[in-house]
A and B are shown apart, each in its own frame.
Chain A
């Protein structure tokens, strides 16, 4: 099993953190992981992304050409990564901030009102958690909710750990949203 996941959005949406959470959770399951952020000049202008590879085998390159999963938290990210998703791949996109539905029909597309859900829970910064929650349901063999919970404690700095219960709650809302989508398909 190898998943090549790109998480993309604008600065402040926590795309790097989302990637790190997945990595730590997968690492604790004994899987191979790599995480590489976009950096330097690429980060200027507000977009940020990270590439996460999770595999049962050694990971040759952290650089992802054709992702198996893209999580797009804003419009520019969708524009950038939509063409690169592999045939039959998965797209999780933030319908709260993306007005026009993605045009490709050769992949599994899951719209989420991620920012709206985050706002409804009292923060605008947890769209990443909604998306990760959904991913856990849509890729059930990747990592479990329990391992993400443990990863939160490991990854989040002590200063921000007080938000972990909120993060977990929002994660489970994302999970349930995906559950509904899967049930309706």
Chain B
């Protein structure tokens, strides 16, 4: 703790982006991520970078597209209703294979909803809210340290695979201050010969998602994207397994919900119930094979989320009938409490289980 700094999650993320070499940041204010643009406004001025308070979310994501096409590291951040607006640009970035980092500090919805933290944008993040067959890598940090570390990783992943990478956090993680050690620059360099910097001395580059001619061009492009997504699915699968080895019960949760779930695991184990926590750190790709392996060994899987039935879809797809999947969710800014989770598990303990049926 002695070498650590106390930083708000949003600010830790912003500083980590600077450490990763991001000097072009564009955003529109929205609670609960306002600390990020405020921090960037100050720091970009100090570092000679670009901060623009865009006229809209649509403009902000389009500025990201322009900067990315120019070959620089770039980022935008927002919160749920703002992220909904950015979907247009995200689809274009994915189609044109442009790298960038996106941050969604989630608040409760639907609509304007509220400003308290939530995980209600899981579908929007992992399924993609924009048009077409595309994917973005989605990372799910669970504390200030991971917020900073994953942000640096996100820039590398984006450049490596030429893909938008979304950091999905909730308002609580964005707003809370915790001790952390800021990451060091890793010095990774990526060749960007595809960038549009002018055609002097080379053939011209075109960055576009439009594919009209020949008739098969768009399908060929989509198949190319799918190949890339397959590769990412093999290479980018992150999960934190906590006390899962001998578990009878498995809790699956990410982000702020997983913090409470982890505590519940400890409490339940103290009381003699063998529970483990499976915490996906990448939500796309989802660590499905890993979860499936555990599902074969446990009696029941409990999904805990700050939304009402979103994460559970990936859990069920991964478990694939190997165990019963149950659900506990809170919404609209509520956080699952320790007692909620413990109570849920105890209620199974005291039920008769003659046959475990996958739901």
- Taking Cβ atoms with an 8 Å cutoff, the residues of A that contact B are 20, 23-24, 27-37, 39-42, 58-63, 65
Contacts and interface: CB of A to CB of B under 8 A. Distances in A.
30 contacts: A20-B177, A23-B6, A23-B177, A24-B6, A28-B1, A28-B2, A30-B1, A31-B1, A32-B179, A33-B177, A33-B179, A34-B177, A34-B178, A35-B176, A35-B177, A36-B176, A36-B177, A37-B175, A39-B32, A40-B115, A41-B31, A41-B115, A58-B263, A59-B178, A59-B259, A60-B263, A60-B338, A61-B263, A61-B337, A63-B335
A61 B262 contact: no
A39 B256 contact: no
Contacts of A36: 172, 175-177
Nearest to A35: B177
Given A34-B178, A63-B172, A20 B1 contact: no
A7 to B, nearest CB: 14
A48 to B, nearest CB: 13
Interface string B254-273: 00100110111000000000
B176 A34 contact: yes
Q: Counting chain B CB atoms within 10 Å of each CB, which of A28, A29, A34 scores highest?
A: A34
A41 B115 CA distance: 8
A59 B259 CA distance: 8
B350 interface: no
B193 to A, nearest CB: 44
Given A20-B6, A33-B178, A39-B175, A61 B115 contact: no
8 closest A-B pairs (Cβ-Cβ)?
A60-B263, A40-B31, A40-B115, A62-B176, A35-B177, A36-B176, A60-B259, A60-B260
A23 B31 CA distance: 24
B4 interface: yes
Nearest to A60: B263
B6 A27 contact: yes
A29 B1 CA distance: 8
Interface in B168-226: 171-172, 175-179
Interface of B: 1-2, 4, 6, 31-32, 115, 171-172, 175-179, 256, 259-260, 262-264, 335, 337-338
Contacts of B4: 27
A42 B107 CA distance: 14
Nearest to A42: B115
Nearest to A31: B1
Contacts of B177: 20, 23, 33-36
Contacts of B338: 60
Contacts of A42: 115
B6 A61 contact: no
Nearest to B144: A34
Q: Counting chain A CB atoms within 10 Å of each CB, which of B172, B176, B264 scores highest?
A: B176
B6 A58 contact: no
A61 B31 contact: no
Contacts of B175: 36-37, 39, 62
A20 B172 CA distance: 16
A76 to B, nearest CB: 19
Nearest to B263: A60
Contacts of B264: 60
Contacts of B262: 58, 60
Nearest to A37: B175
A36 B7 CA distance: 11
A184 B337 CA distance: 38
Nearest to B177: A35
A41 B176 CA distance: 17
Contacts of A20: 6, 177
B176 A39 contact: no
A59 to B, nearest CB: 7
Q: Counting chain B CB atoms within 10 Å of each CB, which of A24, A27, A34, A60 scores highest?
A: A60
A35 B178 CA distance: 7
A177 to B, nearest CB: 28
Contact of B32 (A24, A40, A60, A63): A40
Contacts of B171: 39
Given A23-B177, A33-B177, 11 more contacts: A30-B2, A31-B1, A35-B177, A36-B175, A41-B31, A58-B259, A58-B262, A61-B172, A61-B260, A62-B176, A65-B337
A61 B256 contact: yes
Contacts of A32: 179
B105 to A, nearest CB: 11
Nearest to B79: A40
Nearest to B32: A39
Contacts of A59: 178, 259
